[in-house]
Amino acid sequence: MRESKMTLQATAAMSDNINQEITFRKLSVFMMFMSKGNIARTAEALALSSVSVHRALHTLEEGIDCPLFIHKGRNLVPLPAAWTLLDYCRDVTTLMGKGIEEARKVAGIGGGRLRLGTLYSLTLETIPRLIMGMKLRRPTLELDLTMGSNQMLLNMLEDDALDAILIATDDGELSDAHFDVIPLFEDRIFLATPAGETRDGAGPVDLRDYADRDFVSLAEGFATYAGSQEAFQIAGFEPRMVTQVNDIFSMISLVQAGVGLALIPGRMKKVYENNIQLLTLAEPYQMRQQISIVYSHRRERDNDLLALAAEGRMYARSLTDLAV
Q: Which residues of the chain form CATH 3.40.190.10?
A: 113-185+290-323, 187-289
Instruction: Look at residue 213 in the predicted model and tell me its pLDDT.
Output: 95
CATH fold label, 113-185+290-323: D-Maltodextrin-Binding Protein; domain 2 (3.40.190)
Q: What's the confidence (pLDDT) of residue 296?
A: 92
pLDDT attached to residue 314: 94
Round the CA-based radius of gyration of the chain to a whole number and report it. 29
Residue 213 Cα distances to 113, 206, 231, 246, angstroms: 47, 13, 15, 21
Whole-angstrom distance, CA of residue 61 vs CA of residue 142: 42
Residue 106 has a pLDDT of 67
DSSP one-letter string for 199-244: -SS-SSBPGGGGTTSEEEEEPBTBHHHHHHHHHHHHHT---EEEEE
Q: Determine how β-strand 113-118 pairs with β-strand 142-147.
A: parallel
- Can you give the pLDDT at residue 6? 42
Q: How far apart are CA 290 and CA 275, in angstroms?
A: 26
Q: What is the model's pLDDT at position 103?
A: 77
SS (H, E, C) 236-257: CCCCEEEEEECCHHHHHHHHHC
CATH of 187-289, one of 3.40.640.10, 3.40.190.10, 1.10.10.10, 3.90.1150.10: 3.40.190.10
Domain 13-100 has CATH 1.10.10.10: yes
pTM: predicted TM-score of the whole model, two decimal places: 0.67
pLDDT in tens, the chain (324 residues): 444 444 444 444 445 566 777 888 888 899 999 999 889 999 988 888 999 998 999 899 888 888 999 988 888 899 999 999 999 998 888 888 878 777 766 665 555 789 999 999 999 999 999 999 998 988 888 899 999 999 999 999 999 899 999 999 976 667 667 899 999 999 999 999 998 888 777 789 999 999 999 999 999 989 899 899 999 999 999 999 999 999 999 999 999 999 999 999 999 887 787 889 999 999 999 899 999 999 998 888 888 899 999 999 999 999 887 655
In 3D, which of 51, 54, 64 has the Cα closest to residue 21? 64
Q: Which distant-in-sequence residues (6+ apart) come within 8 Å of 82 by Cβ?
A: 30, 34, 68, 69
